[in-house]
Every structure is written in C-alpha cells, then in structure tokens.
Amino acid sequence: MLRAIIENGNPRQRTWATQTLSLSERLRGRREVLSRLVLATPTGQKRRTIYDARNGFDLPGVLIRTEGDPPSGDPAVDEAYDGAGATYDLYLDIFERSSLDDRGIRLDATVHY
C-alpha cells in the first residue's frame, strides 16, 4: 500500500509514505538482529520493559519501567506495562506457554512514538 501511495499520491502523501516505508524497513532489520540477542528467562517469570520514544523515531527509546518497578505515573507507560502483563498471563493461562515463545522471552513495549 505504501508503495502505491509513493507512486500515485500527491507530494505530501508521497513524502509521508516514503518516510514510513523507510522506518518500517529499518525496524524490521533491527528486529532480526535483536531476536538473535534475546535471552530466555526461566519459565513462569514475567519480564517486561517499557520504553518512551519521546515522540521520535529512535526505538526502542528511553527505558522507563522494568519488571517489578512501581507505576511511573505516566498513563501510557503504566497501561503498556499492565497490557504486557495481561499478554503474558493469557499465554500462560490459556496456552500454557511461558511468554510468547514459551521460553520466557522479554515483553518490550514503546510508548509515545
């Protein structure tokens, strides 16, 4: 869809689509590298990290909250933290899996993108 906008959109749309496509490709490349570096944790333990992109494009952003930290006071950070916990619980309770990969992978989230 982005490529179609780049080819057929007005100048503003083309700029937006080009920037989005470029960012998407960068993120996919980082994901491949990061996935090789992720270490598993023992089963049955949550491990959540919440970052703040501070309305920018550099991901994952500034680390704001990790597992066991008290609420940050930023509703977006705390909601992401709780949502990651609910995701972990869903996989454990319904699918009997330790996190998404069943090896305790850390659940990362970025807010304020």
Residues 6+ apart with CB under 8 A from 88: 46, 48, 99, 107
Q: How far is CA 55 from CA 7, 60, 91, in A?
A: 28, 12, 30
Domain 39-113: state its class.
Answer: alpha beta
Q: pTM to 2 decimals?
A: 0.64
Query: Residue 90: is it exposed, middle or buried by C-beta count within 10 angstroms (0-12/13-18/19+)?
Result: exposed
Q: CA-to-CA distance for 43 and 35, rounded, in angstroms?
A: 18
Model confidence pLDDT, tens digit, residues 39-76: 544 556 899 999 999 999 889 999 999 999 999 999 99
Model confidence pLDDT, tens digit, residues 73-110: 999 999 999 999 999 999 999 998 988 888 888 999 99
